[in-house]
Amino acid sequence: MHVCCDLSAERLEEALLAPEASALYREADAVRLRVKGSGVFLRGIVEFSSHCVRNCLYCGLRRANTAIPRYRLAPETVVRQALAIAARGIGTVVLQSGDDLAYPAADIARMVAEIKRRADMAVVLSVGERSARDYEFWRKAGADRFLMKHETADPELYARLHPGKTLEERLAALRTLKSLGYEIGTGFIVGLPGQTAATLARDILLVRELGADMCGVGPFAPQAQTPLAQTPPGGVETTLRVVALLRLTDPDLNLPATTALASLAPQDGQYRALLAGANVIMPNFTPAEERGLYRIYDNKAPVDLAAAHEAVTRAGRCLIRDGGLR
């Protein structure tokens, strides 16, 4: 199925619902090879705070979840982990947290600036919705990119899953980040209750409309202390189709083989994503004593450097050291 030049929502929906997808994966992989080459970027993640002021129905870090202990890493610990990532030959660190408004913006700026001073690497922030002033502060401190998933392109579904928040606010934040010179990453969840193939087609088109540089797509994975604890997981096959369609509709995107895929398909989820057009893997470098506390969903796969290397090697690909900046 050739969808590369036909970006209509109807054609995308047709591809999502087609009985067979092997040709779609092959075409996406061919576009990946032509546009992005055979390399796979490694992006090391440090999850530096599990506090969150938001109450998203699907996330284990939601404010109402009192069943998990919370933590905040000190800035010097975050810097130390980032330097360890650089020492492993990885050119990008992703500093991720919940929407922890109590973590001072100045501390985040300080650790960004210190990492940039001491290591030749790209610094990515993924800390949720903050003020435009904070975003500008961090950009001036040296932050290169910002990741913030739009989660779903359906405004009603977004409002239902994110009490007190709107999709319009989320998209406005992403556009502010882009105007400040960040490379922006967005993304969405496959398998949310109420989602349809038409919704996913809108998600794919929204990524291109935003001018995103990266898009992370993973299947929904339930967490026991959330209102969606009994909701079935999202489909791995549908997620792989979405990855392929993103590659075809926006060939220059950086597309991760996500940890959620590794969690729901431990044997081959990331490997298959690499064969469907993905070109990024994000091994986790959160300190061991805190890693299990960052419980956005249950049974999260421990994607470490060894697991990333295995998936890349199995897919017949090579690793790229640099930060992947355009």
Residue 166 lies in a domain: yes
Residue 1 lies in a domain: no
Do the beta carbons of residue 65 and residue 225 sit within 8 Å? yes
Bridge-based pairing of strands 183-190 and 214-219 is parallel
Q: pLDDT > 90: what percent of the chain?
A: 95
Strands, sheet with 280-281, edge to edge from the N-terminal-most edge strand: 280-281, 39-42, 318-320
Strands, sheet with 44-49, edge to edge from the N-terminal-most edge strand: 44-49, 92-97, 122-126, 145-147, 183-190, 214-219
pLDDT of residue 142: 98
Q: Kindly tell me the burial class for residue 312, based on how many C-beta atoms sit within 10 Å of its own C-beta (0-12, 13-18, 19 or more).
A: buried
Residue 325 lies in a domain: no
The answer, yes or no, to whether residue 2 has pLDDT greater than 50, is: no
State pLDDT tens for residues 191-238: 999 999 999 999 999 999 999 999 999 999 999 999 999 999 999 999
pLDDT of residue 320: 85
Residue 326 lies in a domain: no
pLDDT of residue 48: 98
The answer, yes or no, to whether residue 6 has pLDDT greater than 70, is: no
Residue 130 lies in a domain: yes
pLDDT of residue 326: 41
Q: How confident is the model at residue 323 (pLDDT cuts 50, 70, 90)?
A: low
Q: Which of 26, 36, 19 lies closest to 3, judged by CA?
A: 26
Do the beta carbons of residue 22 and residue 206 sit within 8 Å? no
Residue 3 lies in a domain: no
Domain that holds residue 120: 9-320
State pLDDT tens for residues 51-72: 999 999 999 999 999 999 999 9
Q: pLDDT > 70: what percent of the chain?
A: 96
Indicate the average pLDDT of the chain.
95
Residue 2 lies in a domain: no
Largest interatomic CA distance in the chain: 52
pTM for the full predicted model: 0.95
pLDDT of residue 325: 46
CATH number for 190: 3.20.20.70
Residue position matching structure tokens 């700026």: 109
Distance CA 238, CA 245 (A): 11
Residue 258 lies in a domain: yes
Provide the number of structural domains found in the chain. 1
**Beta strand residue intervals within the chain, DSSP E:** 39-42, 44-49, 92-97, 122-126, 145-147, 183-190, 214-219, 280-281, 318-320
238 CB-near residues (< 8 Å, 6+ apart): 16, 190, 191, 200, 219
